Chain A
Amino acid sequence: MITTIKETDERFIATLSGELDTAAAQETEVALRPLLDSKGKEIVLDCKELEYISSSGLRVLLSILKQAQSVGSRVVLKDVNEVIRDVLNISGFISIFDIE
């Protein structure tokens, strides 16, 4: 699992690459911690390279979303593949994230 974060004036862009399974969730959570202080900027999670996500991964995404919503930011999931979309569907996350 490889995670990179780029910060611009308007937004944070985090690229998630690889498989976000239970084992990878913890390190990913650590890697994405800067997003918990989004300073009102929009957060874009680029999922183009994300191949797999487990419920632990979803939990990481949920905590980012909760924090962002509390400061009025929004979180966008970008380029979600079919497999991930299926999981989002089942879990109902599809309705609480902005999917682009």
Chain B
Amino acid sequence: MVSFKKGWLSRMGIVVLAAVLVELISVAQYERVRGIMQEEMKSRGHLVLERLSDKIQHTLETTEITMRENIWDVRRSMEHPDSVFPAMVRLIDNNPEVRGSCLAFIPYYYPSKGRLFEPYASKDSDGTYRVEQIGGPNHDYTLNDEYVWVMDHQVPSWTDPYKYGPDSVSFSTYLYPIKDAMGEIVALCGLDVDLSWLGDTLNAHHHFASSYCLLLTPNGELVAGPPADRISPDEVQKAVSIINGDLLESDFPGLSILKTTLRKDPFWQLAQVYNTNEVYARMHRQRRQQIIMVLLGLFILGFVINRYARNERKLLKASEEQARIGGELAVASRIQQEMLPTVFPSYVYGTLEPAREVGGDVFDFYTRDGKLFFCVGDVSGKGVPAAMLVSMSHALFRMVSKKEESPSRILQALNVELCRGNDSNMFMTYFVACLDLYSGELSYASAGHDRPFVLSNGISQLPAKSNLPLGVFPNTHFEEQDCMLEPGTTLLLYTDGLTEAKNIARQEYGRKGIQAFLESFVSGENQSLDYLVSSLSESAHQFAGEAPQSDDLTILAVRFNPEHVFRDSLVLKNDKSEVTRLSAFVKEFFQRLQLDKKIASGMRLALEEAVVNVIDYAYPDGEDGTVSVQADTNGEEVRFTLVDTGVPFDPTAMLEPDTTLDAQNRPIGGLGILLSRRLMDSISYTRRNGQNVLSLTKNIL
């Protein structure tokens, strides 16, 4: 849990770090773009103001030129007061920018005209000329500041722009002093320049809705600005105050003002006011969007990281789990393999190749009392469940066949156990057989298993009755069959992993494949079982080719090879005097073997005691009977087999006498079987076909 929390924290840390980084980059970029935009805006604003001032300058200059070029005409007209009027009209005609012209005479210049005389010509918007004398008590131009200024300074000057007439058109007047021969000013000639275009220009195209231009006098008085319905007069006044230095721009965040002044008289001021909030509004909007996008991206990133980490964790857990299961499977596989026989005598060889780590096949064999017990089994299914059932059956086979010689009864015992609690309904085919290594007598029983091949003079299959598999019905009877094998006969047991080995075309190796292989093999020399089994397996693998092994492949070969076997037999009557014959028989049998005297004597005693036991107990008093004695040896061990037709009697079940008692309490009987047991390696009893069969074996090497 702690590690999970830690992981979560570290993942959130990554997201937060990414957020901070992205935000830093974003802020830096924002500032950079803002700087660029500000520069751009300033240069653009300056450009606008420059153009504007150029245009104003141009208008003013052309007017000044008009004045200078026509002043001679005005001077000439001054000879007669009435000729001044047409001269004024001519002045207007010379320059379309000039909307009006006047000539304001000093008082009493023409005595006939009284104190104030100012002829005035103007052109209306419809193109008609109007000529009038405007000087008089209502219009005392001598009180006009500009008039006074020019009279005092004796240089031409532009008036501050003003509004005049019904259109409220902006005008400015260029006042030009006209001097007489004495150098005294006699009149001021004025040209009214229409500046209405300036208002249009000022408010024409603006990049931003809130931007506007202002025209101010050199004294800072507002001449032209945006209409009140566009920008409130308060706002305009605020800008004017800032321009005049009455207020500080820095006190009004977002407000930015650019200004320029005409290079010469009349030194008007032009200003552009704009609101940075609007300028950056798009940027702000973009930035907001960007932040939202980034946050969204980070959220997704966090989600993805979290998911990834969770999946990673799951994957890690899964792979750990897999490794653990893999490890356990490896152990299970080893256990299973170790349960299989690894050391083979010359007459048995087996192999098991699991398709997976653990298999659903089994084979086993072991020798007891000169008899070879062997089996091959195959569970329906593969993998761990099959392996568990197989291991169980394997252990049962070992346990049961220790006591039981009959393949049928071995299968029955296995079946009862395998049926118990078999809820998964798995079943096993099994083949169990017992081969007498001395006589070649083979008894076998099949639980639904494939019939083994028999290699003798030709190739055939054991005529085994199939019966039901193990694990189906607990009371199944498995029919037991027996036959005698000729010396040199080989039995070949296998599981369906061999017959059902498939190639890529999904064709099966089949019994035909085995048959074909055996035919080619039989025609060769009498090879070892090891070679036979591995060649057969190799043949199946070659057939399958690239196709993966689909099922466990098990092959077990058993050969009856009594080359070194020697046997002799004797039938005795149930009379103790027959022991003499028995002694002679044993001595003769032993003569063939170079035996240690003590071992020979011990075996003879064991046999004698066993025979006497039969004579004593197998038949009721007075009843004639026989006991047949068979002695076998393969040079490695000696086996005695006693068979009688008496009442069922198992000497191995007798209790051993207490050999520590004193002479007076020592029982007379029971010593015989004790001696037999101690002097031989093993004694086993079975009741078969109404006969008591007792086997005694001893290793003589």
Residues of A within 8 A of B (CB): 19, 21-23, 26, 51-52, 54-56, 58-59, 62, 65-66, 69, 82-83, 86-87, 90-92, 95-96
Closest residue on chain A to residue B581 by CB atoms: A23
Which residues on the B side are within 8 Å of A23 (C-beta)? 576-580, 583
Show 15 residue pairs from A and B whose CB-CB distance is below 8 angstroms, ordered by the A residue: A21-B579, A23-B576, A51-B601, A52-B601, A55-B609, A55-B675, A65-B663, A69-B663, A83-B597, A83-B602, A90-B678, A91-B659, A91-B671, A91-B674, A92-B659
Task: State the CA gap A91–B661 with chains docked (Å).
Answer: 11
Q: How far is the CB of A17 from chain B (nearest CB, A)?
A: 16
Task: State the CA gap A96–B663 with chains docked (Å).
Answer: 6
Which residues on the B side are within 8 Å of A59 (C-beta)? 668, 671
Task: State the CA gap A51–B484 with chains docked (Å).
Answer: 41
Task: State the CA gap A100–B35 with chains docked (Å).
Answer: 129
B664–A58 CB distance below 8 A:
no
Task: State the CA gap A21–B612 with chains docked (Å).
Answer: 10
Q: How far is the CB of B603 from chain A (nearest CB, A)?
A: 12
Closest residue on chain B to residue A84 by CB atoms: B601
Task: State the CA gap A93–B605 with chains docked (Å).
Answer: 16
A66–B664 CB distance below 8 A:
yes
Interface residues on B, range: 20 to 34
Residue B679 CB within 8 A of the other chain? yes
Residue B371 CB within 8 A of the other chain? no
Q: How far is the CB of A62 from chain B (nearest CB, A)?
A: 6
Which residues on the A side are within 8 Å of B604 (C-beta)? 52
Closest residue on chain B to residue A59 by CB atoms: B668
Which residues on the B side are within 8 Å of A19 (C-beta)? 583
Which residues on the A side are within 8 Å of B671 (C-beta)? 55, 58-59, 91
Give the residue of B612, B662, B666, B678 whose beta carbon is less than 8 angstroms from that of A22: B612
A66–B663 CB distance below 8 A:
yes
Residue B125 CB within 8 A of the other chain? no
Residue B644 CB within 8 A of the other chain? no
Across the A-B interface, the 5 shortest Cβ-Cβ residue pairs: A92-B659, A55-B671, A23-B579, A22-B579, A96-B663
Q: How far is the CB of A69 from chain B (nearest CB, A)?
A: 6
Which residues on the B side are within 8 Å of A66 (C-beta)? 663-664
A91–B675 CB distance below 8 A:
yes
Q: How far is the CB of A79 from chain B (nearest CB, A)?
A: 17
Closest residue on chain A to residue B609 by CB atoms: A55
Give the residue of B598, B602, B664 whose beta carbon is less than 8 angstroms from that of A69: B664
Task: State the CA gap A54–B668 with chains docked (Å).
Answer: 13
Q: How far is the CB of B583 from chain A (nearest CB, A)?
A: 6
Closest residue on chain A to residue B668 by CB atoms: A59
Which residues on the B side are within 8 Å of A96 (C-beta)? 662-663, 666
A22–B608 CB distance below 8 A:
yes
B660–A83 CB distance below 8 A:
no
Which residues on the B side are within 8 Å of A95 (C-beta)? 660
Which residues on the A side are within 8 Å of B583 (C-beta)? 19, 21, 23
Q: How far is the CB of A58 from chain B (nearest CB, A)?
A: 6
Which residues on the A side are within 8 Å of B666 (C-beta)? 62, 96
Q: How far is the CB of A5 from chain B (nearest CB, A)?
A: 21
Residue B45 CB within 8 A of the other chain? no
With A22-B576, A23-B579, A92-B659 as known contacts, state yes or no: A62 contacts B598, CB within 8 Å.
no
A55–B672 CB distance below 8 A:
yes
Q: How far is the CB of B440 from chain A (nearest CB, A)?
A: 33
